[in-house]
Structure 1
Amino acid sequence: MRKLIFAMNVTLDGYIAAPGDDLGWSVPSDEFFQWWSDRVDATSLALYGRKLWEAMSSHWPTADQQPGATPAQVEFARRWRDMPKVVFSSTISTVDWNARLVTGDAVTEITRLKAEDGGPMDVSSGTLAAAAMRAGLIDEYAIVTHPVLVGGGTPFFTALDNWVKLNLVETRTFPGGVVLTRYETRR
């Protein structure tokens, strides 16, 4: 059975995007960017919602060919292109870059994917993660907190019907006051 991890950057006040889907607050240090790149390399399948898919697929497929691309950006772009991806959307009709599109029920498909053999899966979308959270499918939360308050936007957590008890498994501080906390769901 695969492990499902919800890993996202989040503001101190709990948002993964500021109003207007603004992500300008989450500029990574080199060390932190390398951590994300290593996560992508270790992920056997990434699950995306439409918004984040459109943001990532508009930049990373060719980021390594941009003037001034750093070695870390070149490495991340290659890893991102190579990583298998599933995109959940009912409003787009095609995806590329080693991805497949699912237009049906996300919870049903994520449940099916979790039951397969394989390495860890990352869910990278607020709406998609909220559905997986409510269904009790998330095994780990990797919360990367940035020292900024944005006052609104897309929340990291969704309203839940039941408590979810967690065990702290890692903390790490990155330059700029960015803090990683990883929790596993108690089953």
Structure 2
Amino acid sequence: MRPLRYSINVTLDGCCHHEAGLPPDEESMDFWTTQMAGVDALLLGRVTYEMMAAAWRRPASGGWPAWMDEAEIRFAEAIDGARKYVVSSTLSDPDWNAELLSGDLETAVRALKAEPGAGLWVGGVALPTALANRGLIDEFEFLVQPVVAGRGPTLLAGLDRQIELDPVDRTAFRSGAVATRYRLRSA
């Protein structure tokens, strides 16, 4: 069974808006590139899918934009080539190596998890909360930014139960950010 990992940048006060926190640097981009390389597919809600495609999809010209540095290009190449499953009731025909995940969310995700492989990755805000409420997330990974945002969407808002976790890994960055990964606590 493939584990499903929820990974996201988050501020000290729990804000997980994509514009909150520190600007990406080479160290954080390399961290996320490694995370992309370690999974079989990404599971994204429509909003996250469209936001990521707008930022990280290879342009039709074939070349990466001039604003991208080498670390951002490495990340863009990893996410651009990744298999993607999109959960949406309004998007009818995703592209960008993606297919629409249809039917009952829990049944569809359990089927993906039952396939052999290294794992699945989910990002975003609303979809991970829905998955956590159904007990479908096996690991939680947060890159905690040393910033208090004071506004914006917060991590797992609307979670209907407490989830107990055991620490698995911790990575400190020169910027002061810390990536922590947890696994569901065994009963």
Normalization by structure 2: what TM-score? Answer: 0.90
1:90/1:104 contact within 8 Å kept: no
| Letter paired with 2:41 | L
Is the Cα–Cα contact under 8 Å of residues 45 and 85 in structure 1 kept in the other structure?
Answer: yes
2-structure distance, mates of 1:68, 1:60: 12
For the residues of structure 2 that align with 1:35 and 1:136, how far apart are their CA atoms? 26
Q: Percent identity?
A: 34
* Deviations 1:122-145, CA, capped at 9 Å, x for gaps: 011211100110111111111111
How does 1:89-168 map onto structure 2 within 5 Å? 89-168=88-167
1:55 paired with 2:55, answer no
Deviation, structure 1 residue 24: 4.6
C-alpha distance in structure 2 between counterparts of 1:26 and 1:104, whole Å = 38
Runs (5+) with no aligned partner, structure 2 = none
The residue that corresponds to 1:181 in the other structure is 180
Hey, what's the Cα distance between the residues in 2 that align with 1:89 and 1:135?
17
The question of whether the paired residues in 2 share the 8 Å contact of 1:29 and 1:175 is answered with: no
Counterpart for residue 7 of structure 1: 7
Q: Distance in 2 between matches of 1:67 and 1:107?
A: 41
What are the Cα deviations for residues 116-173 of structure 1, in whole angstroms up to 9, with x where unaligned?
Answer: 1112100112111001101111111111111111223212123444332111111121
In the alignment, the residues of structure 2 paired with residue 76 and residue 122 of structure 1 have an alpha-carbon distance, to the nearest angstrom, of 15
Moved over 6 A (4+): none
Counterparts of 2:44 and 2:52, CA distance in 1: 10
**Relative to 1, partners in 2 of residues 1:155 and 1:68: Cα closer, same or farther, differing over 3 Å?**
closer
Query: Shift of the alpha carbon at 1:68?
Result: 4.5
Q: More displaced, 162-171 or 1-10?
A: 162-171
Deviation at 1:103, TM superposition (A): 4.2
Taking only aligned residues, the RMSD between alpha carbons, in angstroms, comes to 1.7
Q: Quick one: which amino acid aligns to residue 59 of structure 1?
A: A
TM-superposed CA distance for 1:11, in Å, is 0.9
Structure 1 residue 40 displacement after superposition = 0.8
- The structure that is strand-richer by fraction is 1
Kindly indicate which of the two structures has a greater share of residues assigned to helix. 1
1:106·1:128 contact (CA, 8 Å) conserved in 2? no
Asked whether the 8 Å contact 2:2–2:119 carries over to 1, the reply is yes
**Corresponding residue for residue 88 of structure 1:** 87
Instruction: State the match for 1:172 in structure 2.
Output: 171
Shift of 1:112: 1.4
Task: Determine which of 37, 40, 43 is the counterpart of 1:44.
Answer: 40
Q: SS of the counterpart of 1:48?
A: strand
